[in-house]
């Protein structure tokens, strides 16, 4: 945790040092924004409208939406924006794939004309300064891949607020590891990379046997070939917003899918860190069980919980302030306890069995 706290603070806050409109006026990078969508008729128009409202020069960016065999009105809604330059790519695969999303992104990249690929999801919202901030960061640094923050918003209940706090830890973790020059995780809802690098690394080849992993497994490929060329855009204007899962079943499915990617991690430092975190939480549970049989077992458990709470508090205070949700810290005492059970469970489930994603049973 001390390592992560240091890493978070090693990422400087990014500012454009002036008017974003001036920065946009001097922009020179052609951008292709890509979205892989499946059955998103309720959300896709809001996302498209936000992207079309960007203050980045319209002639310097395009939007390609790949419809992944939707059975609702997603494709029809995307097509209605054709006059505004939105391009629809319809997947027509007649055989089962391991990852339809990676196929959608790869095909969209083949159609793209931009030098910088920016991916987001079909249920995301962003401010008008989002794209100009990302591009400004990309142009001012020597990075080939830019990871940027994703935040849950519009929570409906305490369960979703707990998810927002837990998810902010994951975003902070990804930023901290980049700050420590050991990139480990990112989020495809707000990711940018140079198109030439995608082709140089043969795209998703070697990581296409998992349904997920179009984001952080590709991050690992870039890091392996180009150490030190990954950056985190630590700017409030770069935040992309999305929604927490509405119920426990959907939450477990999502996190099981995310955890399944760890079997492809090649960096032993990241694997070791993950194992240590899982073992620590398992130790708390074992301490609780030992309290029934061994004197001092509950004291041991309590000491571990206190250490976990204090260090995570120190880490999360600046992270939640950055995302403008400092009040979420009030949920940390409860989350500290629930997180122990969650970590142990997901660590086991994420590397075994199958899960449902976008109406498909995948592994």
The domain spanning residue 209 has which CATH number? 3.90.550.10
Containing domain of residue 283, as a range?
268-351
Residue 141 belongs to a domain: yes
Residue 308 belongs to a domain: yes
Question: Which pLDDT score, from 0 to 100, does residue 274 have?
Answer: 82
Question: Which pLDDT score, from 0 to 100, does residue 58 have?
Answer: 92
Is there a single domain that holds both residue 72 and residue 27?
Answer: yes
Question: Which pLDDT score, from 0 to 100, does residue 354 have?
Answer: 63
Question: Which pLDDT score, from 0 to 100, does residue 188 have?
Answer: 92
Q: Name 357's bridge partners.
A: 360
Residue 280 belongs to a domain: yes
Question: Which pLDDT score, from 0 to 100, does residue 18 have?
Answer: 59
Residue 363 belongs to a domain: no
Question: Which pLDDT score, from 0 to 100, does residue 200 have?
Answer: 96
* DSSP, residue by residue, 266-305: --HHHHHHHHHHHHHHHHHHHHHHHTTTSTTHHHHHHHHH
Q: How many domains does the chain have?
A: 2
Is there a single domain that holds both residue 124 and residue 186?
Answer: yes
- Between CA 213 and CA 150 the distance in angstroms is 16
Question: Which pLDDT score, from 0 to 100, does residue 85 have?
Answer: 94
3-class secondary structure, 148: coil
Is there a single domain that holds both residue 240 and residue 286?
Answer: no
Is there a single domain that holds both residue 60 and residue 158?
Answer: yes
Residues of the chain short of pLDDT 50, as ranges, are none
Is there a single domain that holds both residue 240 and residue 280?
Answer: no
Is there a single domain that holds both residue 187 and residue 108?
Answer: yes
Is there a single domain that holds both residue 278 and residue 165?
Answer: no
- Between CA 36 and CA 117 the distance in angstroms is 13
Residue 298 belongs to a domain: yes
Of 194, 219, 250, the residue that ends a domain is 250
Question: Which pLDDT score, from 0 to 100, does residue 155 have?
Answer: 93
Is there a single domain that holds both residue 296 and residue 241?
Answer: no
CB atoms within 10 A of CB 253: 15
Question: Which pLDDT score, from 0 to 100, does residue 347 have?
Answer: 78
- Between CA 218 and CA 109 the distance in angstroms is 14
Residues in the chain, total? 363
Of 185, 218, 250, the residue that ends a domain is 250
Is there a single domain that holds both residue 229 and residue 273?
Answer: no
Is there a single domain that holds both residue 94 and residue 171?
Answer: yes
Of 195, 220, 250, the residue that ends a domain is 250
Is there a single domain that holds both residue 108 and residue 10?
Answer: yes
Question: Which pLDDT score, from 0 to 100, does residue 355 have?
Answer: 57
- Between CA 4 and CA 52 the distance in angstroms is 36
Residue 78 belongs to a domain: yes
Is there a single domain that holds both residue 228 and residue 306?
Answer: no
């Amino acid at each position: 945790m001390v390592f992560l706290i240091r890493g978070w603070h090693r990422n400087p806050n990014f500012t454009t040092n002036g008017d974003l409109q001036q920065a946009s006026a001097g922009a020179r990078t052609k951008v292709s924004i890509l979205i892989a969508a499946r059955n998103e008729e309720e959300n896709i128009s809001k996302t498209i409208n936000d992207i079309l409202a960007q203050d980045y020069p319209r002639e310097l960016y395009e939007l390609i939406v790949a419809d992944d065999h939707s059975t609702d009105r997603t494709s029809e809604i995307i097509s209605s924006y054709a006059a505004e330059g939105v391009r629809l790519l319809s997947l027509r695969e007649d055989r089962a794939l391991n990852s339809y999303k990676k196929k959608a992104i790869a095909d969209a990249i083949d159609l793209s004309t931009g030098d910088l690929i920016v991916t987001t999801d079909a249920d995301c919202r962003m401010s008008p300064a989002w794209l100009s901030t990302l591009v400004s960061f990309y142009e001012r640094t020597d990075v080939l891949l830019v990871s940027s923050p994703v935040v849950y918003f519009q929570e409906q209940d305490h369960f979703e607020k707990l998810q927002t706090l837990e998810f902010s830890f994951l975003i902070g973790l990804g930023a901290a590891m980049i700050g420590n020059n050991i990139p480990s995780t990112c989020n495809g809802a707000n990711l940018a990379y140079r198109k030439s690098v995608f082709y140089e690394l043969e795209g998703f080849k070697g990581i296409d046997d998992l349904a997920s992993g179009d984001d952080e497994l590709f991050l690992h490929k870039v890091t392996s070939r180009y150490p030190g060329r990954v950056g985190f855009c630590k700017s409030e204007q770069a935040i992309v917003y999305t929604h927490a899962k509405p119920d426990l079943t959907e939450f477990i499915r999502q996190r099981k899918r995310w955890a399944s990617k760890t079997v492809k991690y090649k960096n032993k430092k990241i694997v070791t860190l993950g194992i240590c975190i899982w073992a620590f939480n398992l130790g708390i549970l074992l301490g609780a069980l030992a309290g029934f049989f061994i004197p001092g077992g509950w004291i041991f458990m309590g000491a571990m919980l206190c250490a976990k709470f204090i260090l995570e508090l120190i880490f999360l205070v600046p992270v939640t302030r950055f995302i403008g949700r400092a009040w979420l810290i009030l949920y940390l005492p409860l989350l500290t306890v629930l997180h122990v059970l969650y970590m142990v469970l997901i660590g086991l489930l994420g590397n075994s069995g199958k899960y449902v994603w976008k109406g498909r049973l995948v592994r």
